[in-house]
Amino acid sequence: MLFSGRAYPALADEVAQLMNVDIVPTRSLNYANSEIYVRFEESVRGCDAYVIQSHAAPVNEWVMEQLIMVDALKRASAKRITVVAPFYPYARQDKKHAGREPISARLIADLYKTAGADRLMSVDLHAAQIQGFFDGPVDHLWALPVLSNYVESKYDTSEMTVVSPDAGRVRLADMWTDKLNCALAIIHKRRDPNVANTVAVHEVVGEVEGRVCLLVDDMIDTAGTICQAAEALMERGAKSVIAAATHPVLSGPAVDRLTASAFEEVIVTNTLPIPEERHFDRLTVLSIAPLIARAITEVFEDGSVTSLFNGQS
């Protein structure tokens, strides 16, 4: 049985259509003091439950709603509960950078487990170690096949260089180069530890002159990093620059920055809802629903999720 929170029902509906099932009717509302109430309007006893929620802003509200849905399922005797969070909340707080900081990604995993979740499914976690934060099976899905198939169908990969916008994305970029069979470049940058969302690009390691540069990342938030990276590549003679990222967070000035940037195209998936006013001409949105639907089907039928990614996870 599929259940959907209110953050992004369109994605859950698409997954349900691909699986030929219906979303379970749910009564969800906010009381006057902002408390959330959830009730499922049919029996869930003994079911294999999949609770889909995309954690767009306001993140805290949608996390709480999903936890309440999981608790309701547990108390209604669902046999197994799988949390489907295409964009894992608080994923960037996966380690301590300084003293007296939280590791909020671990806290979220603990909250899901305490609420009653048996299994977790997410797409492109910001850090792979988050899989170990949850005490139970974690299905870590990759958007790479969805994004790379589109890039291969539209661009000549023989003149392409995959570029990691920082040291943390090198493994992701390396996987892209294996898939597209092309060169790799890395941008070395430093952040100001005292100022949030600011970066300073330093140097490009690799051959980018005269090449079509593909910047790859797991998310585009305020777009500061990726736009500065695009600028650095164009200054070093890149023929053109395109971007591919899984999660279109697109906070604050992101759309203005991307619109004014050198990008020929920005390719993302629909793990998060993008309001109509946040769309722009060079934005391409690919559907992640077929991947999620296939993964849920494999889990339900006791098949192999890693078979969707050639045995890697």
Which positions are annotated as active-site residues?
A: 189
> Which tokens go with 145?
């096949």
List the one residue out of 46, 55, 57, 41 whose CA is nearest residue 80: 46
Residue bearing tokens 């958007």: 143
One-letter amino acid at 186 equals I
Token pair listed for 261: 């940037």
Identify whether the C-beta of residue 77 lies closer than 8 Å to the C-beta of residue 44.
Answer: yes
The torsion defined by the Cα of 155, 156, 157 and 160, in degrees rounded to 10, comes to: -90
CB distance 188 to 218 below 8 Å: no
| Nearest in space to 215 (alpha carbons), one of 282, 264, 270, 285 | 264
- Separation of alpha carbons 217 and 244, rounded Å: 7
The Cα–Cα gap between 159 and 182 comes to 8
Query: Pairing state of beta strands 283-286 and 80-85?
Result: unpaired
Which residues make beta-bridge pairs with 110?
none
* Residue 300: CA count within 13 A, CB half-sphere: 14
Distance, in Å, from the CA atom of 262 to the CA atom of 40, rounded to the nearest integer, reads 48
- Give the ranges where 182-284 is alpha helix by DSSP (H): 224-235, 254-260
Q: At 39, which amino acid appears?
A: R
Cα–Cα dist 39/27, whole Å: 5
Q: Which of 300, 164, 181, 284 is nearest to 233 (CA)?
A: 164
